[in-house]
Amino acid sequence: MANLENLYPRTGDVQTIYLKNVISRNNIEVGDFTMYNDFVNDPKDFEQNNVLYQYPINNDRLIIGKFCSVACGARFLFNSANHTMTSLSTYPFPLFFEEWGLEKKNVTEAWDNKGDIIIGNDVWIGYEAVILAGVTIGDGAIIGTRAVVAKDVPPYTIVGGIPAKPIRKRYDDAAISNLLALKWWDWSEEKIAENINLIQSGNIRKIVTVQP
């Protein structure tokens, strides 16, 4: 079975890693087998290069499920990248509290807090895609190259563009419901290995007959 403690799952490939093995921040969670590829920077620097504006003062979280594929340059942009839209000015006065005689405890009023970024299981995030704070991406979704995702993405939906919009669903509604109930990504490694041909075949009618 797979060695999930192995940083590099492919022999001789130092551009592709099991992402969870390089996570050090308490507010980032990554599921088993989720991979990240980077041919520009060292993939081990994912937190520094790809998870941006995630300041501890916000307590905002990045949660990525199992068996996701994250392409080179994909970025997750958190709440501190925002400037407040409730003020007459977008200038971040609270950030410069010393200059303007404001309360340090109110520094987060400089930006709007839209919440966590939550990525489901078996999600493919394309090259240089950007996921904004507050977005939830459902299981099985595909995010197109250089898409900017500002709104939630339903399960098994392909989105692309700036801002990202739905292109099509990968399967019909009944098939999507069956896949979401099946949750193959939660199976044991042994069970996945036994049924990997069915998973790869794309034959939903057969895969849903697998016994729990």
Check residue 15 and report its DSSP letter. S
112-169 pLDDT, tens digit per residue, is 999 999 999 999 999 999 999 999 999 999 999 999 999 999 999 999 999 999 999 9
- Reported as a pLDDT band with limits 50, 70 and 90, residue 202 is confident
- Checking if the pLDDT of 77 tops 80, the result is yes
Same domain flag for 205 and 131: no
Q: Which residues contact 188 (CB under 8 A, 6 or more apart)?
A: none
Which residue range is the domain that position 192 belongs to?
Answer: 171-212
| Token pair recorded at residue 86 | 């409730």
Residue 107 appears among annotated catalytic residues:
no
Same domain flag for 87 and 97: yes
Same domain flag for 49 and 154: yes
Say how many domains are in the chain. Answer: 2
13-69 pLDDT, tens digit per residue, is 999 999 999 999 999 999 999 999 999 999 999 999 999 999 999 999 999 999 999
| Token pair recorded at residue 7 | 């940083």
Selecting among 44, 61, 83, 114, the annotated active-site residue is: 83
